[in-house]
Structure 1
Amino acid sequence: MDPIKLEDLLQVWEEQVAPLRRDLGRALDNPELDAHLHRATVFLDRYDAATDAQDRSVLADIPRSAAFLSDGSAKITDCNRPGAVAFGISKGGPFVDLPFEPEDRALLQGVIRKVAGGRAEQRVTLRIRSSITGSPVILRVSPVVSKAQSLALVVSTELVWPLGFELIVQEAFGLTPAEVEIVRGITLGLPIKDIAEARGRSAETVRTQVRSILQKTETHSQSELVRVVLGLMDVAAMPSEAPSRSVPRGGALEPRDVRELWLADGRRLTWIEFGDPKGQPILFMHMDYGLIRWPASAERHARARKLRVIVPVRAGYGLTDLHLRAADHLGAVSQDYIAVLDHLAVQGAIALPMGADLRFAMNLSLRRPDLISGIVGAACQLPLRHAAQYERMDKWQRFILSNARYAPKVLPFLVQAGFSLARRLGKDVFFAQVNGNSRADIETFDRPEVREAILIGSDVCLSRERSAHEAFARECIGSEKDWSDVVRRCIVPVVLLLGDQDPQTPMETMRELAMDYPQLTMRFLPETGQLLFFKEWPLVLEEVELMIARLP
């Protein structure tokens, strides 16, 4: 459930699960897996990227053990929340507030001075008895690097539940509030007798409740229950948001107003526009990454060449509302495009899709031939036919898309973990990790204009304020269904410009699929990948203008 381990999961999945790909759907279609994914998702919902370690107090990394910082003087330098709760201390409070006997406090104070001053071992472990509970407390004292003063970090075995953790446990395992309080007592090491006394119940009643708890949590002993709860406590205690470090600000891109339209069913649609407001309409489709912006020079070029670029933001991205789960994804997305174009009174647009957005452009041309007069695709995908075509993809693309086809139940969790990883690493680092095998894409992304357009444009997909992981999962599942009939019935002119280093749709696969659709014009551009449009936008727009010139 730790998103930073997603690549480890990918490796295990590739080695042990992928060979069963054809039977994966049946193998994963069982109630136990559904329950497991639900629990895992509850915790993943509360796990997100943290800020850089240097921007956080060392105490922020200790969410459950009572801990404090001290230089060995008469005052506590700082403490975490568990330290305040378990020891009754506070930042800047007196050292004598620690619940230990005077001689034990003096021993601890001397050890802190030695460790903080570098006159002792790197870590010293002490065993001191608490004057509150009468139980022994283990303390570990270690030095802390600080420019301002010499400090020691004291971490104890006294545990405190993070704020709100009881609600997380209750939701994850379906426990009653009374059962959660029993889990808390067991986790903190209290005997059943003490838990029963505190709750005004008999020990036998509490033991019966414990048996129910073990069944609900799918654990087999109290020690296993403690291990599960403590192992998940750190995950649940992580902050839910982190500042974005990847997106450059104050660059060459002009700000664009987000426009909105409210539908009769209460859903909100949004879109942006740039270029010449009176020019030839271009319907740009932003792919599942939500790439709604072009490089700054490309946006200026659109205005100079009298092109009106309309970019609807799809369902679940930005401020556009998701469709109902039962909605047909292809039909519902196509209807949203129709709603925006009809609202703007636009007809005869050239559609410019990327990736699997080709299905939306073609379906739109079939449903409303008056709206779309031609399609110019950039690094587009065609419907895949068999497992071997997934095997040719790079591992990250294969990991997501093969599961979209063969294990759609698992995909939403995997996508959400990927989004959490992207937020934790930063979108630029995550992009390099996912697309590292496409030299063309990495070189394209390194261009300042391209990087700015991608990172700012994809804010509708992933930013500090939002995460479109549910919409992304729906997009992937939809793209891996069979939409070959849509391709065959499409009658508007279609030109596909393809990359020779596309990590998702290699040349061999596209040439293989091209034989099924002789009506499509395909051309491979050298040294391009999935970011073909962002690298070769002058060639793409030249192709758009040629198509406009050929129209009646």
Structure 2
Amino acid sequence: MTRPDPFDEAPFDPHLSHEGMSRILSILPEERRLTGAALDQWLSNAAVQGLYLDQSGRFHVAPPEAEMIGYVTDEQLDDVFTKRFGKALTPAELALLKALLTNLTLREISADTGATYETRRSQAKSLLAKSRMSRQADLINIMSALVAMSITLRQSQSAVINRTSDEVVQRLYGALGRVHHLTMSSGRDLHVMDVGPPGGQPILLMHSTFLPFYPMPAQAQDFYGQNLRFLMPVRPGFLGSQLPKGEAIEITDLFARDVAEFVRAFNFTTVPVVSHTIGVFAALKLLKHSPDHRSALLVSPTHITSPQSQLPPFMYETIKLACRSNKAIMAVMDLLTRAIDLPEKFRSSFGKVYADSPSDLDIIARNEPLLADVIWTASRSMAGLATDHALMRSDWTAMLPPDAGKVRILMGETDPHCDTIAVLQKLGKSSADANIIKGWGQITGIFEPQDVLSLHQ
């Protein structure tokens, strides 16, 4: 019996190669499939370098005409191969593997790329050697299933996060809000809360620590009537979103890169950027990666020398534990945090932190019902709180762009989280427009947004 040539030019049987995949794809709920005009616009502006998977289980190097299930980037595809076979691919081998997964033959690939058949055959031999397999068809069948599994697992993991942010928007804004769940070309997920009329005047907001949502629920209807639309990318670690590895400032930089890609894809590059408190770091990183932005308004930017003294004591201890904990412990902490009755602890701690800021105390007293929402979102954002705690040790004034004239800074005169004198000294001769607002504390700009908008005219 003649041994079959492992590089047989006959394409592999698509039914055989996707037999196992059909079962995997069938478990995806309809709402998790990536469809709709928004996705079409996203893909047309920011097509990934990788492989797309359609509903029939076929791979494509460009967005398919058929309904798409998801995709993997080149980096993720290489990672799937490396984890399964223990050896990384060269760029040429990766390109060949992608083409083979789309059901092209070696001769077709050679004709499309201009390389000789012998070159592609040599690369295919290298692929087989690294995978320790004897037949090309077997390798492609296995990789097809592994890549499809990778896509569906990522969709399932994202679904948990999606539900959390969707639940927040539904709880706080009802029909006035929605959430966009995107996977960027980096492979990271980005969740953008969107409150206001879809065709309204957009404002890009980098949220604070204990209020990872905006506007305040009671203000949403008024803003809707003013045709204002707030786009709030959920920072890493908040509302269950993924937290990349790295130092806090590095994580913030990665997040800003993804947001910059988002604003470019949807033509939001001229939309004003507003940050609240510690969101200042993400806002300034965004200006770095999206230089077309014309203006930024930094409201109550956090600048303190001792993070411990400015946080509610019980939350500081919880955050310290979160910084040292693995994901399993974090999950237990999250459950415990939800189970404990925290409102009185928050009231007491905030009373101490804002003791010298009458305007903040007044706002907290007038917005007592919102305390439950603050606790509810904080319990789902422990990883983000830990990152923000680390960010407090960084100096955002050193991150101002050279053209700081387009940056306006509003600081409250009694803000306990901002050393206004130190900020003004560090700004020195900077062209940034820095202002200390009389009668303001830290959260005035969040709860009295009309003041901010009038100052930003």
- Length-normalised TM-score, structure 1: 0.44
Aligned to 1:440: 359
Relative to structure 1, is the Cα distance of residues 290 and 530 closer, same or farther in structure 2, using a 3 angstrom cutoff? same
Aligned to 1:517: 427
Q: Quick check: 2:307–2:393 contact (8 Å CA) kept in 1?
A: no
Matched, 1:272 2:193: yes
Q: Partners in 1 of 2:322 and 2:375 — Cα distance?
A: 24
Matched, 1:429 2:348: no
Aligned to 1:25: none
Relative to structure 1, is the Cα distance of residues 251 and 512 closer, same or farther in structure 2, using a 3 angstrom cutoff? closer
Q: What is the Cα deviation at residue 359 of structure 1? A: 1.9
Matched, 1:533 2:455: no
Matched, 1:369 2:284: no
Q: Partners in 2 of 1:362 and 1:398 — Cα distance?
A: 30
Q: Partners in 2 of 1:288 and 1:391 — Cα distance?
A: 13
What CA deviation, in whole Å up to 9, does each residue of 1:232-270 have, x standing for no partner?
A: xxxxxxxxxxxxxxx9x9888655222200224543211
Q: Quick check: 1:293–1:456 contact (8 Å CA) kept in 2?
A: no
Matched, 1:497 2:419: no
Q: What is the Cα deviation at residue 296 of structure 1? A: 3.6
Relative to structure 1, is the Cα distance of residues 396 and 334 closer, same or farther in structure 2, using a 3 angstrom cutoff? same
Aligned to 2:306: 390
The amino acid across from 2:253 in the alignment is G
Q: Partners in 1 of 2:223 and 2:266 — Cα distance?
A: 19
Q: Partners in 1 of 2:244 and 2:396 — Cα distance?
A: 20
Q: What is the Cα deviation at residue 309 of structure 1? A: 1.2
What CA deviation, in whole Å up to 9, does each residue of 1:186-239 have, x standing for no partner?
A: xxxxxxxxxxxxxxxxxxxxxxxxxxxxxxxxxxxxxxxxxxxxxxxxxxxxxx
Q: Partners in 1 of 2:215 and 2:402 — Cα distance?
A: 31
Matched, 1:478 2:397: no
What CA deviation, in whole Å up to 9, does each residue of 1:424-474 have, x standing for no partner?
A: 5445434313211314333312334x743x644774542xxxx32223212
Q: Which of 1 and 2 has greater Rg? A: 1
Q: Quick check: 1:378–1:496 contact (8 Å CA) kept in 2?
A: yes
The amino acid across from 2:441 in the alignment is G
Aligned to 2:216: 295
Relative to structure 1, is the Cα distance of residues 429 and 375 closer, same or farther in structure 2, using a 3 angstrom cutoff? farther
- Considering Cα pairs closer than 8 Å and 6+ residues apart, tell me whether 1 or 2 has the greater RCO: 1
Q: What is the Cα deviation at residue 493 of structure 1? A: 2.0
For structure 2, the residue ranges without an aligned partner over 5 or more in a row are: 1-167
**Secondary structure, in 3 states, of the residue corresponding to 2:222?**
helix
Q: Partners in 2 of 1:264 and 1:299 — Cα distance?
A: 32
Q: Quick check: 1:286–1:354 contact (8 Å CA) kept in 2?
A: yes
Q: What is the Cα deviation at residue 392 of structure 1? A: 10
Q: Partners in 2 of 1:413 and 1:517 — Cα distance?
A: 37
Q: Quick check: 1:280–1:306 contact (8 Å CA) kept in 2?
A: yes
Q: Partners in 1 of 2:311 and 2:199 — Cα distance?
A: 44
Q: Partners in 2 of 1:392 and 1:260 — Cα distance?
A: 34
Q: Partners in 1 of 2:444 and 2:321 — Cα distance?
A: 31
**Secondary structure, in 3 states, of the residue corresponding to 1:357?**
helix
Q: Partners in 2 of 1:420 and 1:335 — Cα distance?
A: 32
Aligned equivalent of 2:183, options 253, 262, 284: 262
Aligned to 1:381: 302
Aligned to 1:324: 245
Aligned to 2:280: 358
Aligned to 2:116: none
Q: Partners in 2 of 1:480 and 1:310 — Cα distance?
A: 27
Q: What is the Cα deviation at residue 301 of structure 1? A: 3.1
What CA deviation, in whole Å up to 9, does each residue of 1:354-397 have, x standing for no partner?
A: 11221221221122111x22122222124x5xxxx429954637
Q: Quick check: 1:373–1:492 contact (8 Å CA) kept in 2?
A: no
Cα root mean square deviation, aligned: 3.9
Relative to structure 1, is the Cα distance of residues 255 and 478 closer, same or farther in structure 2, using a 3 angstrom cutoff? same
Q: Partners in 2 of 1:434 and 1:486 — Cα distance?
A: 31
Aligned to 2:382: 469
Aligned equivalent of 1:286, options 198, 207, 218: 207
The amino acid across from 1:436 in the alignment is G
Relative to structure 1, is the Cα distance of residues 418 and 351 closer, same or farther in structure 2, using a 3 angstrom cutoff? farther
What CA deviation, in whole Å up to 9, does each residue of 1:280-332 have, x standing for no partner?
A: 32111112225213224532333333322101111222253222347822311
Relative to structure 1, is the Cα distance of residues 395 and 425 closer, same or farther in structure 2, using a 3 angstrom cutoff? same
Q: Quick check: 2:412–2:441 contact (8 Å CA) kept in 1?
A: yes
Matched, 1:341 2:253: no
Aligned to 1:314: 235
Relative to structure 1, is the Cα distance of residues 524 and 513 closer, same or farther in structure 2, using a 3 angstrom cutoff? closer
The amino acid across from 1:302 in the alignment is F
Relative to structure 1, is the Cα distance of residues 525 and 362 closer, same or farther in structure 2, using a 3 angstrom cutoff? same
- Length-normalised TM-score, structure 2: 0.52
Aligned to 1:160: none
**Secondary structure, in 3 states, of the residue corresponding to 1:513?**
helix
Q: What is the Cα deviation at residue 540 of structure 1? A: 0.9
**Secondary structure, in 3 states, of the residue corresponding to 2:312?**
helix
Q: Quick check: 2:184–2:258 contact (8 Å CA) kept in 1?
A: no
For this pair of structures, how many residues does the alignment match? 279
Relative to structure 1, is the Cα distance of residues 306 and 400 closer, same or farther in structure 2, using a 3 angstrom cutoff? same
Aligned to 1:78: none
Relative to structure 1, is the Cα distance of residues 252 and 354 closer, same or farther in structure 2, using a 3 angstrom cutoff? closer
- Write out aligned runs for 1:20-39 (5 A): none
Aligned to 1:542: 454
Q: Partners in 2 of 1:255 and 1:276 — Cα distance?
A: 7
The amino acid across from 1:537 in the alignment is P
